[in-house]
A and B are shown apart, each in its own frame.
Chain A
Amino acid sequence: MSHLAWASASSIAAAVGNGELDASHVIDQALARITLRNPVLNAFTAVTAERARARATVKLSGPLAGVPFAVKNLFDVAGLPTLAGSKINRERPPATADATLVARLEVAGAILVGALNMGEYAYDFTGENSHDGPSRNPHDSTRMTGGSSGGAGGAVAGGLVPIALGSDTNGSIRVPSSFCGIFGLKPTYGRLSRVGSFPFVSSLDHLGPFARNTTDLALAYDAMTGADLLDPVCVERTDPPVSATLTAGIGGLRIASAGGYFRAGAQPEVLTAFDKVAAALGALRQIEIPEAARARAAAYVVTTSEGAALHLQRLRTRARDFDPDVRDRLIAGAMVPAAWVTQAQKFRRWYRDAVLRLFEDVDAILAPATPCAAPEVGQKTFVLNGQEVPLRPNIGIYTQPISFIGLPVVAVPVPQPNGLPVAVQIIAAPWREDVALRIAYDLEARGVVRAPQPPE
C-alpha cells in the first residue's frame, strides 16, 4: 500500500489484520503526513504521537485495526484539556479518561492520533477560530472548511486521517462535509453516546463520524453504537450493524427530493449537484417539508438561548477571552426571554409529528447541505435569495430544520468540474441510518458521489 494517505480505513484494517501491514508503519506515515500538511491546513490542535506510537506496537484486531483517527477537540482525550475550541478551557485540568466514542473506536482497533481544530464552543459554521487560527480547506486553502467541526473536515479531506469524529448541533458535521467534499454521518438524536464530550446545546447535540467513503463511515458508526447509561439522552436500542446491509441496494426504497425552502436561496452549483443526485436515484417526486423555515427559526432560538445559558458565568466574568464572533452571539442569546424558547420547543413537537408523517410515504428525502460552496476565509456576508446577509447565522439554513428533530442524515459529496465540491443530505426516518447509508453506498458505487482528492 504505497499511498497510505489516501487509503481507506477498511483497506488499512484488512492489511493490518492479516499481517501485510504493520500498524507502526501506518502511524509513522500518518504522523509524517500531519507534520507535512498541518502547517497549511491547521486541522490539528494536538497530535498524540507518543500515545499513537505506543498503541501501534500492541497486537490490534477488529474492523478498524491500525486505522488512524482524530477527534474534534471537544472530545475528552486522556491527558489533554478539552478545549472545545476555546481559550478559557485551556485552563481546565487534562481529561482523565477518553470520551466514550474514542474508547469504542479503539476497542475496534483504531488508533487516536490527535485532536482537531473547531469553532469556539461549536457555535460556528465557518471553521474559523480566533485563538487557533482558521482550519483551511484542502481544496483551496484560502477557503473555509465549514464548521464547527472544521479541523475534522480538513483532516479527512486532506488525507491526514481516514476517519474523524465531530459534533453536529445544527449542521456542524454536514457543513464541513459539504465544503470539504467528504462523507459525514449525523446519526439519530440519542443514538451515539455523548459522554466525555463538551456540550453546546444539550437538546440538539449529536456526535458522528466523517470519512472519505461510505464503507468507512459505516464501519466507524457500527463501532460506536450502543447504550451508555451515563448519557441520559442515549437510548437503549439494538439495531443490526449498518455495514451488513450497506450493499443491499436501493431497490424498493422510496426517495423524494425536498422542494420549496430547500431550493430557494441555493447557488446554481448547489442545485446542479442536488439535481444530479436526485436524478441518479430517480427521486423525481418533490415534497414539501412543512414549515421548514419556521423549524430553522425555532432551532436558532433554542440554540442561542441554551448555548448562552451554558456559558453565562463565563460571559459575565471572562467575555474578553471569547472569540469575538462567538461572544457577541452568545451575549444576545443570554437575553432571549424564556417564553420564546418554550414556544420554540412546543413548535418542535408539532414539527416532528408533521415530518414523521412524510415518512409514511417515503423512506428518504434529499436536500442540499449548504446554500453555497466554501466561502473565503474571513468572509462575513454572502448573497442569499438576492440579499446580502450575515454568513455565520445563515450557512445552516438547510441543515438546521433536520437536526432540530434529530433525523439521521448522511452528507454525500458531489465533485464539481472546475469548482469546489458541495454535499447533498440524505435524510432518513428516525433510527434508519441504514437506509441513508445504503443510498449513499449506491450513489458512490455508481460514481455519482465521491470525495475528490485535492491537488497539493
Chain B
Amino acid sequence: MNDSDWLDSNAALLGIGVAPEWREAVLLHLRITRELAQRVFDFPLPDEADPAPAFRA
C-alpha cells in the first residue's frame, strides 16, 4: 500500500475529512512516521519484552 492509499483508507475508517489542500502535508508526516517506525522495527526484541506505556523512571 502506498502512502496515498494509507491516507485514504484510514481517513474513511476514522471518519476524518482531509481537505485537498492538507493532503501534501499529511502525506509528508505519514512518510516521516513510517520511516521512523521502520527504524524501531529494525531493532530485534524478544517476544518477552514488556512494553513500558506506564513508565516509571
Contacts and interface: CB of A to CB of B under 8 A. Distances in A.
A300 B33 contact: yes
A348 B45 contact: no
A203 B26 contact: no
B26 to A, nearest CB: 5
Interface stretch (A332-340, A363-371, A443-451): A332-340
A331 to B, nearest CB: 5
A346 B32 contact: no
Contacts of B43: 291, 294, 347, 350
B29 A304 contact: yes
Given A331-B16, A331-B18, A431-B57, A349 B52 contact: yes
A405 interface: yes
Interface stretch (A171-179, A266-274, A321-329): A321-329
Interface string B10-52: 1100111111001001101110110011011111010001111
Interface in A175-226: 188-190, 203
A390 B40 CA distance: 21
Contact of B22 (A233, A328, A334, A335): A328
Interface in A362-421: 390, 393, 405-407
A344 B10 CA distance: 21
A235 B56 CA distance: 9
B55 to A, nearest CB: 6
B16 A319 contact: yes
A407 B18 CA distance: 37
A200 to B, nearest CB: 15
Nearest to B45: A346
A369 B53 CA distance: 25
B45 to A, nearest CB: 5
Contacts of B55: 189, 203, 348-349, 352, 405-406
A345 interface: yes
Contacts of B36: 296-298, 300-301
SS class, residues of chain A in contact with chain B: helix
Nearest to B39: A297
B50 A336 contact: no
Contacts of A340: 37, 40-41
A349 B55 CA distance: 8
Counting chain B residues whose Cβ lies within 8 A of the other chain, the interface size class is 35 or more
A331 B26 CA distance: 7
A349 B50 contact: yes
Contact of B10 (A297, A335, A342, A407): A335
A348 B26 CA distance: 26
Contacts of A334: 10, 14, 16
A301 B40 contact: yes
A348 B7 CA distance: 27
A96 interface: no
A434 to B, nearest CB: 15
A368 B29 CA distance: 25
A312 interface: yes
A343 interface: yes
A347 B17 CA distance: 33
A142 to B, nearest CB: 24
A92 interface: no
Contacts of B6: 335
B14 A335 contact: yes
Given A316-B16, A343-B40, A188 B32 contact: no
Given A297-B37, A316-B15, A348-B55, A390 B45 contact: no
B39 A293 contact: yes
A390 B32 contact: yes
Nearest to B7: A335
Contacts of B10: 334-335
A345 B52 contact: yes
Contact of B57 (A293, A300, A327, A407): A407
Cβ-closest 4 pairs across A and B: A430-B57, A332-B29, A345-B51, A297-B36
Given A189-B55, A235-B56, A347-B43, 13 more contacts: A233-B54, A315-B14, A331-B11, A332-B33, A334-B10, A334-B16, A335-B10, A340-B37, A348-B51, A352-B55, A390-B28, A406-B55, A407-B57
9 contacts: A291-B43, A294-B42, A297-B37, A297-B40, A319-B16, A332-B26, A332-B32, A333-B29, A348-B55
